[in-house]
Amino acid sequence: MRPSEIYRPDLLKDKVVVVTGGGSGIGRVIAEECAALGARVAIGARKEERLNAAAEAMREQGAEVFAQTLNIREVDQVGPWLEAVKERFGAIDVLVNNAGGQFPSPAMGISPRGWRAVIDTNLNGTWNMTHAAAGHMMSAGGGRIINIVANMWRGFPGMAHTGAARAGVVNLTKTLSLEWARHNILVNAVAPGVIRSSGLDTYPEAVRQSIETTVPQHIPLKRLGKELDVAWSVVYLASPAGDYITGETICVDGGQAHWGMVFQP
């Protein structure tokens, strides 16, 4: 694996890190960074072609990778998928709930089907993975759960569905951190701001252009984030540096949560 730019190579040696949505974008970079630090990595996503390409690229660089398609909305898939990871690697030490998705729309333009799709992925899917993984972690004496959410603290015009779902995950993070502390399970979240990643390709061209040109004007650091900015924060929480942190959300957004607007109401 390519060496990490900031962490020592054996930081996550022998840890088993599960990354949902690990076939592309931020999830793939998180998985690659963890693998570069010695972790054995399990990645799941709905699109098999992307998933296999990501896994093969990491294997070519010497990483141990489990890759199998997964739809986190389907609770019947989640349990067997995690069991397969456990059978392959013998443990589940860290779960990174990165899989998610949304589409830009004014609230009145969101159909019931569109609302359910986003809630089912971003909130219910996160719960499905978290609930199932926690059982393995409790049996093993502990673990880490890291939820990737979004910058929705002051309202999220144009993204009401995902704002509601991500806010639910932030509260879930706090609640589970208290309930599961006695099991030595640390539950935290990372809230990316606007990150330049392949996820932007799913948005219409006009939206992408606005994100590249207009959005940085409303970010104190005057730039979009990069995928590694998010991955490094995830590794921090997964590593010994995060041993005494639980129930927190780290904003990785160039200060945007405290000032400025991204979407016009």
| Distance linking the first and last C-alpha atoms of the chain | 44
pLDDT at 107 over 70: yes
Distance CA 66, CA 54 (A): 11
Distance CA 92, CA 62 (A): 20
pLDDT at residue 261 in the model: 64
Instruction: Record the tokens describing residue 255, joined without a space.
Output: 């200060």
pLDDT at 265 over 60: no
- What contacts 72, CB < 8 A, 6 or more positions away? 20, 44, 78, 99, 121, 125, 126, 128, 129
Helix (H, G, I), strand (E, B) or coil at 251: strand
Domain 16-194+226-250, CATH 2.140.10.10 — does that match? no
Contact 222, 193 (CB under 8 A): no
The domain segmentation of the chain, as residue ranges, is 16-194+226-250
pLDDT category of residue 17 using cuts at 50, 70 and 90 = very high
Distance CA 14, CA 73 (A): 29
Q: Torsions phi, psi of 250, nearest 5?
A: -95, 120
* pTM for this prediction: 0.94
pLDDT at residue 215 in the model: 84
pLDDT category of residue 60 using cuts at 50, 70 and 90 = very high
pLDDT category of residue 262 using cuts at 50, 70 and 90 = low
Contact 12, 38 (CB under 8 A): yes
Distance CA 221, CA 190 (A): 18
Distance CA 241, CA 84 (A): 29
- Strand (E) or helix (H) holding 208: helix 205-213
C-alpha distances in Å from residue 145, one per residue of 110, 131, 169: 31, 10, 12
